[in-house]
């Protein structure tokens, strides 16, 4: 595949060795090439064969897909994680030797990652492999943009490296990915599922509405956990394949740490940036799908006019509008939501468009937006304090930004809901809902039950 550009790769490596010698430190090289069509899931599966941790992202089933294999470098941050990650990224990009002749967003040097919902909440064992904030630059990245495919090879070159040997090794590894074919292993059976403390959770919803009725908060999003035991360790490739076919209106993502893998199919965009064009999404307010078209339409109509759901939704719209105004121009937000249909349920949806002012980055926006009242509440601090103190689970990366960015001001982050942490032959699934003054614990419980469905169904439930 890279044969035609042989000289290009070699000359890049030559330059890198000189630089590594001058600086006496490893030199990051990033080399991108257009390739023939390839199945992203085969690429994902090939990485497993190579013993590499994998990262996966699609924005919709067909348009855009990123698959990362292995890690050439990490951006890890604790305190001030947004600024810190941005600083590390800028540093990494400015020191890298990049060959990427394409303007396509998501090609070239790309970092993929996510973070904990609440860095102030105590870490439990459940999420021990997941950092407060972690982005990885993969060893190999596959980018699919509509019908075009790109392969990026990233490597760290030292002064003692040999161009010919290194180029040979890189081509060999790339060949293992591009020529890979394997039928994905069969799916697993669900052996046992346990909803964690459902009655206590309903009590918590009541406690939250009491708090709201005492005017101490307006909206508090409460989540709960379901623990699964599976017949064997599922193939993440199969899980993704099923999510891709069943959840077509969603972002599908996976972030793997050995036997632990955080996977989900979320409909909720946090922010998308293409150069300076910004998109965000207000998504809150939920109803089930109807069994017939007529029933479905009826439910949509009710949802669109339901004051409780419109209230839940409007908190998100107001907050996002306010949060971005300092950073953006030409903010366009329709004054009424529309329906966003998913396989198992439907949401109220309001898109947000704006132009990012010069001098700001996607991290500035994420920092302002996370958590929106779709996952935290209103006011932010009061709701977070309540969640931190009383919620019965460690959210870990659930409900937090997950996504990617490239070295040309493009990137996209979703809110990691409809997700689960697969750990060997067990898994924890997470689902939450917005509690407002007229929330009924039983109805909120039912709402979370449907939100488990996307992940539950691909794990044999």
Ligand X SMILES: C=C(O[C@@H]1C=C(C(=O)O)C=C[C@H]1O)C(=O)O
H-helix or E-strand spanning residue 195: strand 190-195
Tell me how many degrees the CA angle 96-257-455 measures, rounded to the nearest 5.
120
Does residue number 205 form part of the binding site for ligand X (CB under 6 A)? no
Angle in degrees, 0-180, between the axes of helices 198-213 and 441-458, rounded to the nearest 10: 130
Give CA–CA dist 399/401, Å, rounded.
7
Question: 3 catalytic, yes or no?
Answer: no
From ligand X, Mg ion, none, interface partner of 205 (C-beta below 5 to 8 A by class): none
The candidate with the shortest Cα–Cα distance to 326, out of 299, 349, 302, 354, is: 354
**Which one among 67, 375, 421, 455 touches ligand X, defined by CB under 6 A?**
375
Instruction: Say if residue 312 carries a ligand binding annotation.
Output: yes
Task: Select from 65-73, 203-211, 287-295, 425-433 the region that touches Mg ion (CB under 5 A).
Answer: 425-433
Nearest distance in Å: CB 451, ligand X: 4
Nearest distance in Å: CB 432, ligand X: 3
For 282, the token pair is 């207000």
Does residue number 350 form part of the binding site for Mg ion (CB under 5 A)? no
Does residue number 104 form part of the binding site for ligand X (CB under 6 A)? no
| 426 to 445: interface string for Mg ion, x by CB under 5 A | -------xx-----------
Does residue number 373 form part of the binding site for ligand X (CB under 6 A)? no
Does residue number 312 form part of the binding site for ligand X (CB under 6 A)? yes
C-beta closer to ligand X: residue 32 or 419: 419
Q: Kindly list the distances between the CA atom of residue 460 and the CA atoms of 198, 226, 410, 454, in Å, as whole numbers in the listed order.
A: 21, 14, 36, 11
Does residue number 347 form part of the binding site for ligand X (CB under 6 A)? yes
Give CA–CA dist 205/355, Å, rounded.
38
Which residues lie below 8 Å from residue 377, measured CB to CB, with a gap of 6+?
Answer: 217, 218, 219, 220, 221, 315, 383, 384, 386, 387, 434, 435
From Mg ion, ligand X, none, interface partner of 432 (C-beta below 5 to 8 A by class): ligand X
C-beta closer to ligand X: residue 13 or 299: 299
Task: Select from 90-98, 124-132, 293-301, 429-437 the region that touches ligand X (CB under 6 A).
Answer: 429-437
Tell me how many degrees the CA angle 259-264-266 measures, rounded to the nearest 5.
165
C-beta closer to ligand X: residue 278 or 374: 374
Question: 121 catalytic, yes or no?
Answer: no
Determine whether 322 is exposed, middle or buried from the number of CB atoms within 10 Å of its CB (0-12, 13-18, 19+): exposed
Kindly calculate the radius of gyration of the chain based on its CA atoms and give it in whole angstroms.
Answer: 22
CA contacts within 13 A on the Cβ side of 313:
29
Does residue number 456 form part of the binding site for ligand X (CB under 6 A)? no
| 268 to 297: interface string for Mg ion, x by CB under 5 A | ------------------x-----------
Sign of the Cα pseudo-torsion (11, 17, 20, 26, in order): positive
**Which residues in 173-202 contact ligand X (CB under 6 A)?**
none
C-beta closer to Mg ion: residue 40 or 432: 432
Nearest distance in Å: CB 417, ligand X: 4
Give CA–CA dist 138/199, Å, rounded.
43
Q: Rounded to a whole number, what is the distance in angstroms from the first to the last CA of the chain?
A: 42
Sign of the Cα pseudo-torsion (181, 182, 183, 187, in order): negative
C-beta closer to Mg ion: residue 394 or 447: 447
Q: Are the CB atoms for 154 and 139 separated by under 8 Å?
A: yes
C-beta closer to Mg ion: residue 433 or 458: 433
- Selecting among 129, 144, 211, 219, the annotated active-site residue is 219
Query: Contacts with ligand X: how many residues (CB under 6 A)?
Result: 18
Active site residues: 219, 268
Binding site members for Mg(2+): 312, 447
Binding site members: 312, 447
Site residues (vs ligand X, CB under 6 A): 221, 223, 268, 283-286, 312, 347, 374-375, 417-418, 431-434, 451
């Amino acid at each position: 595949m890279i044969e035609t550009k042989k000289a290009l790769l070699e000359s890049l490596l030559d330059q890198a060795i000189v630089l590594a010698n001058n600086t006496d430190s490893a030199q990051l090289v990033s080399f991108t090439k257009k390739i023939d069509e390839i199945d992203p899931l085969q690429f994902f599966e090939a990485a497993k064969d190579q013993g590499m941790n994998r990262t996966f992202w699609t924005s919709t089933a067909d348009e855009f897909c990123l698959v990362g294999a292995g890690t050439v470098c990490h951006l890890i941050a604790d305190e001030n994680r947004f600024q810190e990650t941005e600083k590390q990224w800028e540093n990494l990009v400015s020191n890298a030797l990049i060959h990427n002749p394409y303007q396509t967003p998501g090609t070239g040097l790309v970092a993929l990652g996510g973070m904990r919902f609440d860095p102030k909440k105590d870490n439990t064992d459940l999420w021990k492999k997941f950092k407060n904030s972690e982005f990885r630059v993969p060893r190999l990245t596959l980018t699919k943009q509509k019908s075009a495919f790109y392969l990026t090879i990233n490597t760290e070159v030292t002064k003692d490296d040999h161009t010919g040997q290194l180029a040979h090794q890189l081509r060999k590894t790339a060949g293992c990915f591009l020529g890979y074919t394997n039928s994905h292993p069969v799916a697993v059976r669900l052996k046992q599922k346990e909803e964690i403390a459902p009655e206590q959770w309903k009590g918590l919803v009541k406690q939250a509405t009491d708090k709201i009725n005492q005017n101490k908060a307006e909206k508090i999003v409460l989540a709960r956990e379901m623990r699964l035991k599976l017949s064997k360790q599922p193939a993440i490739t199969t899980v993704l394949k099923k999510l891709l076919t069943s959840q077509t209106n969603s972002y599908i993502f996976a972030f793997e740490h050995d036997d632990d893998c955080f996977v989900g199919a979320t409909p909720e965009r946090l922010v998308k940036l293409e150069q300076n064009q910004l998109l965000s999404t207000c998504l809150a307010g939920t109803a089930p799908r109807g069994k017939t078209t007529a029933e479905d339409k009826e439910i949509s109509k009710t949802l669109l006019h339901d004051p409780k759901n419109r209230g839940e939704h409007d908190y998100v719209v107001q907050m996002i509008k306010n949060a971005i105004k300092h950073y953006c121009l030409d903010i366009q937000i329709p004054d009424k939501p529309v329906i966003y249909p998913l396989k198992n349920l439907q949401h109220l949806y309001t898109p947000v468009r704006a132009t990012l002012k010069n001098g700001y980055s996607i991290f500035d926006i994420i920092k302002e937006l996370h958590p929106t009242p779709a996952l935290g509440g209103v006011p932010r601090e009061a709701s977070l304090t309540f969640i931190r103190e009383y919620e019965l689970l460690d959210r870990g990366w659930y409900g937090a930004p997950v996504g990617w960015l490239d070295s040309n001001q493009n990137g996209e982050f979703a809110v990691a809901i409809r997700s689960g942490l697969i750990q060997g032959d067990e898994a924890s699934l997470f689902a939450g809902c917005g509690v407002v003054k007229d929330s009924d614990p039983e109805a909120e419980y039912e709402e979370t039950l449907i939100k488990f469905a996307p992940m539950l169904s691909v794990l044999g439930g």
